[in-house]
Amino acid sequence: MDSTLMIDPGSKTIKQIAVECPAAIPVLEKHHFDFCWTGDKTLDVVAAEMGVPLEIVLSELRLAVAERETEQPNWNVTGLDALMRHIVVRHHAYLRNELPLMERLIARLREARGRTDAATVAPLEKVFRFFKRELENHLRKEEEVLFPMIARLEAASVAGVRLPRYSFGPIANPIGVMEEEHDAERRELDKMLGLTGNYSGPADACNMYRICFDRLKTLEADMRRHVHLENHILFPRVEVLENASC
């Protein structure tokens, strides 16, 4: 049993629980506890706000950790290079496949329902296209610039040699840019959430609506896990590594 779940639920934030107990993430998602974007409230506070009995959440968390604690890498201690590979293979690859597909699906939805649902479908298509373009640029910057820099930093640390120095200053600077872009991505996701009525659609929603909105919901869930790994685990570990050399 993971000791982090044997504590007073008023002393750990949702974000801390997700960082320290990755196996708890599916339970947090099940109850719509946002561990990524707004994860700074404690478990007891969030449970009360969402109207979920705290004892039920704690029971489910303990069960999830007991069942899965040996199945997931501990990203808090695993090598940074392995963590970045996981992010690229699991999350970046998913987005590169899903974003073009979703763009085509939303275009088909606009063709089918553009006149009937003009207030929803056309704005959704516009927001999604912007989101897709910005996110694809973001992935490219991580893979071609930031992640290789982090890999060099870790390799130097492991070898016990002087860490590389960059003209832009500490690596916290480009990391800060990535975090700002994560915030911008969240704002676009929030726009799509509002336009789709929390991914519900109109009362007479056709099958195309269901397919599009289900996939948007899945995309948002994957983004939450993706950004969590970077903002709350990878980036803080990189800054600790760099600061330790100062």
pLDDT at 2 over 50: no
Look up the CATH number of domain 3-68: 1.10.3910
- Residue 86 dihedral angles phi and psi, to the nearest 5°: -60, -45
> pLDDT: is 11 or 36 the higher one?
36
Report domain extents, the chain.
3-68, 80-244
Q: What is the dihedral of CA 39, 42, 46, 49, to 10 degrees?
A: -120
Residues above pLDDT 70, as percent of the chain: 91
Amino acid 174: pLDDT: 95
Q: Can you tell me the distance from the alpha carbon of 138 to that of 146, in angstroms, rounded to the nearest whole number?
A: 10
pTM metric for this prediction: 0.82
Amino acid 194: pLDDT: 92
Contact predicate 208/121, CB 8 Å: no
Q: Can you tell me the distance from the alpha carbon of 38 to that of 57, in angstroms, rounded to the nearest whole number?
A: 18
Contact predicate 191/130, CB 8 Å: no
**Confidence label for 183 from pLDDT (cuts 50, 70 and 90):** very high
Q: Can you tell me the distance from the alpha carbon of 206 to that of 202, in angstroms, rounded to the nearest whole number?
A: 9
Q: Can you tell me the distance from the alpha carbon of 135 to that of 97, in angstroms, rounded to the nearest whole number?
A: 13
pLDDT at 112 over 70: yes
Contact predicate 90/75, CB 8 Å: no
pLDDT, tens digit, for every residue of 39-67? 899 999 999 999 888 888 888 888 787 76
- CA-based nearest residue to 220, from 156, 89, 118, 128: 128
